[in-house]
Amino acid sequence: MILGIETSCDETAAALVDTGGRVHASVVSSQADLHSRFGGVVPEIASRRHLELVGPVVRATLDEARLSLDDLSSIAVTQGPGLVGALLVGLSAAKGLAWSRRLPLTPVDHLHGHVASLYLGPDQVEPPFCCLLASGGHTLLLDIRRRGSFDVVGSTIDDAAGEAFDKGARLLGLGYPGGAELDRLARAGDPDAFAFPVARVSGLDFSFSGVKTALLYAVRGLGAGELHGRRADLAASYQHALVRALVERTRAAAAGLGLTRIAVVGGVAANSGLRAALAEAVFAPPDLCTDNAAMIASAARYVLPVPYPEYLGLDAYAAATG
C-alpha cells in the first residue's frame, strides 16, 4: 500500500493506492475559494494553508480506507515542478512520516504523475500512445512507449493551455478558477461568432499568447452593454480556438510518431469542448484530471524508492527537469 501526498499548487491531497493500481482512498482539499478573491494562486498563502491541511488530509485518507500508518509499504510525494514553498510542505510531511516508520520514500515528478493517472483502476491504458498533457502550468505532447517514462515531442512556447483558459475567463469577468467557468459559459455560445486565430509555430509546439491578445482586443472593442450580451459567444469562440490548436497538434504528433492511440491528461482534460473534439482519445477520469495524490502514488510504482534514511536530504524543484 502506497500513501501518496500532493501539494504542488493549491490542492492538499493524499491517497492510498496498491501496487495493482487500485485506489483505496483519495482526499483532495482545494484552496480555490481562498484564492478566488485574488484572481489566482498566492504562493505564500498556499504554503501556509498546506501546513494547516496536510496532517488532517492524511488522517482523513487513512480513515477512509480504514487503515493505519502500520499498513503502509512506502510513501510517495510530489517533488516538483510546482510552487517551491507548497512542495516543501508536502515533502517535509512525507519525510517525517516515512522516517517515523522507517519506510522508503519515493519522490515523484508531477508531470509523470499526470500520465500515471491513466494507470489506475480497472481500465488502465497500456503504452504505446501519444499523450497530450494540458494543465494550468504545462502543455506537452508526449511519446510514451512504456510506463514510467516519456519523451517530450512538443510544448508551449508561451502560456500553458490551462493558463490561457484562466486568463480568458478573467477577461470575460468570470470567477476563479476560470477554466471551468469559461467552459460552462461556452456551451451557451456560438463558436463561430468570432474568428480567433490559431497560432502556426514550427514543429509540434503550441502558442497561446496570440489568441489571448485577440480576445483582449475583442472585449475592448465592445461596449459594456454589448459585452454582457456577447460573453457566451466570446467564450465559445475563444474555447474553440484553444481546442482547435490542441487537437490539431495532438493528431499531428500521433501521426508523426506512428501511434494510433491518443490519451489526454491534466486539468484541461476535463474541458467538455476538448473531449468532444478529440472523441477518439482516452481521457483521464474527471476526478483524476486536476491535481490529486492518487496519480502521485500511481507514478511511484515505476520509480525506484529512496531507502530510509537517505531521503532526508531531498529537496523540491520548481521547474520541470526535462
Give the side-chain half-sphere CA count within 13 A for 194. Answer: 29
| Same structural domain, 171 and 48 | no
pLDDT in tens, 150-207: 999 999 999 999 999 999 999 999 977 789 999 999 999 999 999 999 988 889 999 9
| Same structural domain, 276 and 150 | yes
How many domains in the chain?
2
| Same structural domain, 177 and 35 | no
The answer to whether the CB of 169 falls within 8 A of the CB of 136 is no
pLDDT in tens, 65-103: 999 999 999 999 999 999 999 999 999 999 999 999 999
Q: What sign for the dihedral angle of Cα 40, 43, 48, 54?
A: positive
User: DSSP states of 220-245 as a string?
Assistant: HTS-HHHHHHHHHHHHHHHHHHHHHH
Paired sense of beta strands 129-134 and 139-144, if any: antiparallel
| Same structural domain, 140 and 27 | no
* Domain membership flag for residue 294: yes
- For residue 280, give the H/E element and its range: none
pLDDT at 322 over 70: no
| Same structural domain, 57 and 171 | no
| CB neighbour list of residue 172: distance below 8 Å, 6 or more residues apart | 182, 185, 215, 219, 231, 234, 235
Share of the chain above pLDDT 70, in %: 99
Cα diameter, the chain: 64
Residue-range definition of the domain harbouring residue 174: 126-284
| Same structural domain, 280 and 295 | no
* Domain membership flag for residue 50: yes
Residue type, 310: E
Kindly report the pTM of this predicted structure.
0.95
* Domain membership flag for residue 321: no
| Same structural domain, 29 and 109 | yes
Helix axes 161-171 and 178-186, enclosed angle (nearest 10): 70
| Same structural domain, 174 and 252 | yes
* Domain membership flag for residue 74: yes
| Same structural domain, 191 and 49 | no
* Domain membership flag for residue 278: yes
Helices H, strands E: what count in the chain? 10, 10
| Same structural domain, 105 and 222 | no
Mean pLDDT of 98-119: 98
The dihedral region occupied by 10, where left means phi > 0, alpha psi between -120 and 50, and beta the remainder, is: alpha
**E strand spans, 83-187:** 105-109, 129-134, 139-144, 151-155
CA–CA gap between residue 128 and residue 104 (Å, rounded): 30
* Domain membership flag for residue 322: no
| Same structural domain, 202 and 249 | yes
* Domain membership flag for residue 319: no
* Domain membership flag for residue 160: yes
pLDDT in tens, 216-244: 999 999 987 899 899 999 999 999 999 99
The answer to whether the CB of 271 falls within 8 A of the CB of 243 is yes
- CATH classification at residue 155: 3.30.420.40
pLDDT of residue 218: 97
| Same structural domain, 188 and 275 | yes
CA–CA gap between residue 278 and residue 246 (Å, rounded): 9
The number of beta carbons lying within 10 Å of the beta carbon of residue 230 is 20
From the list 152, 250, 160, 234, the residue with the least C-alpha distance to 196 is 234
State the chain's mean pLDDT as an integer.
Answer: 96
51, three cell numbers: 501546513
